[in-house]
Chain A
Amino acid sequence: MLTAEDKKLIQQMWGKLGGAEEEIGAEALTRMFCSYPPTKTYFPHFDLSPGSDQVRGHGKKVVAALSTAIKNMDNLSQALSELSNLHAYNLRVDPPRFSLQFLSQCLQVALATRLGKDYSPEVHSAVDKFMSAVASVLAEKYR
């Protein structure tokens, strides 16, 4: 469960990114496609080559959603309700793909490369928990 301290750490960490959020979104996706090729099966309609505009655009979307989630950590279910519907009824991404944390892992790697020592064990823990919570909410409506 996300503690008050976790929430504070996440908000502080997000604040430290100084506008790099969008880049981080694209990078997390690129890393995910590279490390976990099966995740590409959800994007057959995308140009997945390096620097692709579609990946950039999608990364931006993902990060915007996470930003919303971070501003609404006390009510993730409601904040992500539309996205939850989308993932359950339209996208139907295999739910364990969320909880198996491929995107979470790659997002954390992208954050760690930028934050270095500032990606402390405590921040790492908070982000991991947060991504778990987001994954749970997105999978809520699957069945």
Chain B
Amino acid sequence: MVHWSAEEKQLITSVWAKVSVEECGAEALARLLIVYPWTQRFFSDFGNLSSPTAIIGNPKVRAHGKKVLTSFGEAIKNLDNLKGTYSKLSELHCDKLHVDPENFRLLGDILVIVLAAHFSKDFTPACQATWQKLVGLVAHALARKYH
């Protein structure tokens, strides 16, 4: 059972309240596809991913980024039950999407960098540590149903 201190919960919710799920999601996913180009293998039907500009402007990337981050929002509402929250998604990513769980860790790290660029000095070391913990646990929950 994961333990979240009151301070950690505060750091998560106060940051999340200021996040635009659509913008942040689009940016995080775009960066994943740009910084780790091999991840494009999961998005072959997304159309033009030929350059950073194409990726950033790609409407499917934006839409999917929003989806991914919306799901993250669910996790934040259920910090004490990440495993339950991600159970079905974990099965989906394993059985249908065939995504190597390592990619969840990569996306998590990218999300942290996107938040850092957005929140600047407010993204303190304590804040980063809490978010690294969160993205790590989300990645873990998503990998849990793999077989």
Which positions in A face B, CB cutoff 8 Å? 27, 30-31, 34-36, 101, 105-106, 108-110, 112-117, 119, 121-122, 124-125, 128
**Residues of A contacting B137 with CB < 8 Å?**
none
B17, CB-defined interface residue at 8 Å: no
Give the B interface residue count (CB, 8 A). Answer: 25
Question: Given A109-B123, A113-B121, does the pair A124, B129 have CB atoms closer than 8 Å?
Answer: no
Contact status A34-B128, CB under 8 Å? yes
Contact status A117-B129, CB under 8 Å? no
Contact status B52-A112, CB under 8 Å? no
Complex CA–CA separation, A121 to B117 (angstroms)? 11
Complex CA–CA separation, A109 to B27 (angstroms)? 15
Complex CA–CA separation, A121 to B123 (angstroms)? 19
> Which one, B28-36, B63-71, B74-82, is touching chain A?
B28-36
Complex CA–CA separation, A117 to B116 (angstroms)? 10
A-B contact pairs, 28 of them (CB 8 A): A30-B125, A31-B125, A31-B128, A34-B128, A34-B129, A36-B132, A105-B109, A105-B132, A106-B128, A108-B116, A109-B112, A109-B113, A109-B116, A109-B128, A112-B117, A113-B117, A113-B120, A116-B118, A119-B117, A121-B30, A121-B34, A121-B55, A122-B34, A122-B52, A124-B34, A124-B113, A125-B35, A128-B35
**Residues of B contacting A106 with CB < 8 Å?**
128
Most chain A C-beta atoms within 10 Å of own C-beta, residue among B56, B118, B128: B128
Question: Given A31-B125, A34-B128, A109-B113, does the pair A121, B31 have CB atoms closer than 8 Å?
Answer: yes
Chain B contact residues: helix, strand, loop or mixed: helix
Contact status B123-A113, CB under 8 Å? yes
**Residues of B contacting A119 with CB < 8 Å?**
113, 117
Chain A contact residues: helix, strand, loop or mixed: helix
Contact status A125-B34, CB under 8 Å? yes
Complex CA–CA separation, A121 to B55 (angstroms)? 10
